Amino acid sequence: MIYNLSYDRKTDKSFTYGLKYNKCSYSGTGDIFVSIICGLITNNYDLDFAVKTASDFIYKCVSYTYKYENDRNQGVMFEMFLNDLTSI
């Protein structure tokens, strides 16, 4: 398992969210992760929801990209999953 831990200063609550570790990593996933969180918080979603949404999105993109054996430095193939975010 791999976990994300977040703390919401406004509510003084912490959250953890875990997913199965897929044993691979790609460049740029942290940038995508933070961008999703910032976008959701800016649109008044709470931090817990934002972290879960970003985590699930990254997990899905990494799992999909891994099937194609791309160079990890090329990042993840995320385009086909953008509808997951725009439909929120």
Asked if 38 contacts 51 with a C-beta cutoff of 8 angstroms, the reply is no
What is the residue range of 65's domain? 2-86
The model's pTM is: 0.94
Which helix H or strand E contains 16, and what residues bound it?
Answer: strand 13-19
Per-residue pLDDT of 7-40, as tens digits, reads 999 899 999 999 999 989 999 999 999 999 999 9
As to burial, measured by CB atoms within 10 angstroms (0-12 exposed, 13-18 middle, 19+ buried), residue 52 is middle
Instruction: Give the total number of structural domains in the chain.
Output: 1
Per-residue pLDDT of 35-82, as tens digits, reads 999 999 999 999 999 999 999 999 999 999 999 989 999 999 999 999
Using only C-alpha atoms, the chain has a radius of gyration, in whole angstroms, of 13
